[in-house]
Amino acid sequence: MHKRSVIHMFDPSPHTSPFDVNFAVDAEFDVVVPYNNVKLEEINALVQDVIFSRGPSGVKMTGIFIGGRDIGLAMSMLESARKAMVPPFEVSVLADPSGAFTTAAALVACVEKELKSKHGTDLKGCRAIVFGGTGPVGIATGVISASAGADVTLVDHISIDTALEKASEYNKLCKVSMRGTYASSDADKARLVSNADIVFCTAKAGIQVLNASVLGDAKELKVAGDVNAVPPLGIEGIKRHDFGRELEYATNSEGAVGIGALAVGDVKYNLQHVLLDQLLESETPIFMDFRDAFARARGLV
């Protein structure tokens, strides 16, 4: 009997993201099954229902996607899913909470490309500031950059306590070393960017984080990347499609370039398709998180 391809989408949120569902449909899974309000303690039973109901041939046509908005919870769910497998009844699993892993992987890979092509260096040792650093994309951006050797500071726009707590939590979880701070004024932001090599803007859509005046205080800036596609854009002077265009307001940082949201989005779009395809194409079960996303993103750029 012909087995149809099935993706089971586990989401701890009240609603499975339409964004993720659309990607699964576009990846040409025959059947897309969303699950809402999934608890960590339910993952084992759900996964075993998935694997034992399809048989050894059916599991090769089955994948699991883990969503939500909490990176730590998604990684715990991914590990729980891994432990629930019983060979030969095993399927591949992709975690991408809030699209954070693929968005962050695309952003960092694009910045790394421009560091190499325009400045002859890489992430290792670069001072990276992540504005919006306590949200899902910001945290993932910080973790990926720190894993590649960057000196990372996560920035919250209000609370130093939140920034310190998130940095500490994900340093332990992901075995990296990040700092946390806050920037509630242009003076705070100017102080942070003054000696930064890299600026990542991962703040909420429709908020300008860095204006021309703040950018003028940057002395060492090499690359700035913005994932905000909703006006006003996150970094003044960066256009949505920019990929390596000179930063017009970073007048004191020779050769500084910018990367816009749609340039990052193109890589993220292709990346998510590649990872979803891997759920069915891999000969052996794989369990993918931000590390796999970044490795693939590097190849795509």
**CATH for 59:** 3.40.50.10280
Give me the tens of pLDDT residue by residue for the chain, a chain 301 residues long: 578 999 999 999 999 999 999 999 999 999 999 999 999 999 999 999 999 998 888 899 999 999 999 999 999 999 999 999 999 999 999 999 999 999 999 999 999 999 999 999 999 999 999 999 999 999 999 999 999 999 999 999 999 999 999 999 999 999 999 999 999 999 999 999 999 999 999 999 999 999 999 999 999 999 999 999 999 999 999 999 999 999 999 999 999 999 999 999 999 999 999 999 999 999 899 999 999 999 999 999 9
Is residue 292 in a domain?
no
Distance CA 66, CA 162 (A): 25
CA atoms within 13 A on the CB side of 262: 9
**76 and 110: one domain?**
no
**123 and 257: one domain?**
yes
Q: Structure pTM?
A: 0.96
**253 and 114: one domain?**
yes
**224 and 77: one domain?**
no
pLDDT score for 56 = 83
pLDDT score for 141 = 98
Distance CA 205, CA 261 (A): 10
**116 and 180: one domain?**
yes
**77 and 160: one domain?**
no
pLDDT score for 301 = 94
**79 and 105: one domain?**
no
Is residue 30 in a domain?
yes
* Residue range of the domain that includes 185: 100-264
Domain end call among 43, 68, 95: 95
**228 and 260: one domain?**
yes
**141 and 105: one domain?**
yes
Phi, psi for residue 180 in degrees, rounded to 5: -125, 145
Total count of domains within the chain: 2
**β-strands 243-246, 257-259 pairing:** antiparallel
Task: Tell me which amino acid residue 275 is.
Answer: L
**62 and 144: one domain?**
no
pLDDT score for 57 = 83
Helices (H) and strands (E) in the chain — how many of each? Answer: 11, 12
List the CATH number of the domain containing 243.
Answer: 3.40.50.720
Is residue 20 in a domain?
yes
Is residue 293 in a domain?
no
Domain end call among 71, 95, 119: 95
pLDDT score for 77 = 98
CB distance 250 to 221 below 8 Å: yes
* Cα of 39 vs its chain's centroid, Å: 22
Opening angle at CA 277, ends 276 and 281, nearest 5: 130
Is residue 55 in a domain?
yes
pLDDT score for 61 = 94
Domain end call among 95, 126, 152: 95
**91 and 156: one domain?**
no
**43 and 165: one domain?**
no
Question: In the structure encoding, which two tokens stand for residue 50, read together?
Answer: 């998935």
